[in-house]
Amino acid sequence: MKAVLVSDTIILLLALIMAVASSLMLPVACGRFLRLGGIESEPSAVPVLVAQQYKVAIVDHAEKIPSGEVPSEFVEIASQRYQVTLPWAGHRLTARVSEVQPLLVSLPRSVIDGDGSIYVTKATHRAFLEMSVMAVADGVPLLVDSGYRSVAYQKKIFEQRMVAAGDFQSISRWVAPPGYSEHMLGTAIDLSPSNWTFGGTKVEQWMEKNAFRFGFNQSYPRHSPHGFTWEPWHWRFVGDS
Ligand SMILES: [Zn+2]
């Protein structure tokens, strides 16, 4: 009798897991390439676990790292090795280019600020365009000025800034070191203008109020417990998690 009860419970749990998994298809599909902190997701085997890992992928989710316990993490830029400092240390993201890039599609010109092409994952693309239609209807068009950026591209940004002026540590106060930028996941966008003048604009207010309905979160909120600088223009698609 006991065994029957246990197996019934397992069947019920499995049914529940399948229901939850199917309702989380977007984050599951989008999160399948995420590898964080050395943990690789296994999407086809256990979709619910992947969805949970996807939530963990939100940079501001983990506990604050106590001072004096900075993980030893390094990045290499122009053949030099630099230690990654807080708030980035402990938040390295890893996503395989070979798995992210096939998911990328370009955003239409109508939502891009400037002439270049901007790529995001298919799921991000779909959700963003739905959100954009709603924003336009409210008289607040959303313009994107950055999307997917590879680790190599992020390295170039650092190299250029280090040549122009400044050292690694001071630049990394404002710019994510290569391997720490959510833009490498293809799920992050920067809205225009991607600088301090964005705060307090109608677009910012609209996003604060509505973005969550389309699965977008602010990755670096005003009061980040990790000490990340507030980036009101930076949003990340996290699905309906
Ligand atoms: Zn950004």
Could you tell me where the DSSP H helices lie in the chain?
2-23, 25-31, 47-56, 97-100, 122-137, 151-164, 168-171, 202-210
Task: Output the CA 75–ligand 1 centroid distance in Å.
Answer: 19
Task: Output the CA 40–ligand 1 centroid distance in Å.
Answer: 24
Predicted pLDDT of residue 70: 61
Predicted pLDDT of residue 35: 27
pLDDT in tens, the chain (241 residues): 444 444 555 544 544 444 443 333 322 222 222 322 222 222 222 222 222 333 333 333 334 445 556 667 888 888 888 888 888 888 888 777 888 889 999 999 999 998 889 999 999 999 999 999 999 999 999 999 999 998 888 888 888 888 888 788 888 888 889 989 999 999 999 999 999 899 999 999 999 999 999 999 998 888 887 788 889 999 999 986 5
CATH topology of domain 59-237: Muramoyl-pentapeptide Carboxypeptidase; domain 2 (3.30.1380)
Predicted pLDDT of residue 11: 47
Nearest to 50 by CA among 65, 39, 37: 39
Q: Within a 10 A sphere around the Cβ of 83, how many other Cβ atoms?
A: 14
> What is the residue whose two structure tokens read 């930076």?
234
Task: Output the CA 82–ligand 1 centroid distance in Å.
Answer: 22
Which residues are placed with Cβ below 5 angstroms of ligand 1, an ion?
190, 234
Task: Output the CA 5–ligand 1 centroid distance in Å.
Answer: 50
Nearest to 124 by CA among 54, 29, 9: 29
Nearest to 236 by CA among 131, 116, 86: 131
Task: Output the CA 192–ligand 1 centroid distance in Å.
Answer: 10
Predicted pLDDT of residue 69: 62
Predicted pLDDT of residue 213: 94
> What is the residue whose two structure tokens read 């390439």?
33
Task: Output the CA 207–ligand 1 centroid distance in Å.
Answer: 15
Predicted pLDDT of residue 204: 97
Predicted pLDDT of residue 68: 58
- 57 close to 49: Cβ distance less than 8 angstroms: no
Q: Taking the complete model, does pTM exceed 0.75, yes or no?
A: no
Structure letter (DSSP) for residue 232? T
Predicted pLDDT of residue 73: 83
| 105 DSSP β-pair partners | 120
Q: Cα–Cα distance between 180 and 157 in angstroms, integer?
A: 13
Q: Cα–Cα distance between 26 and 21 in angstroms, integer?
A: 10
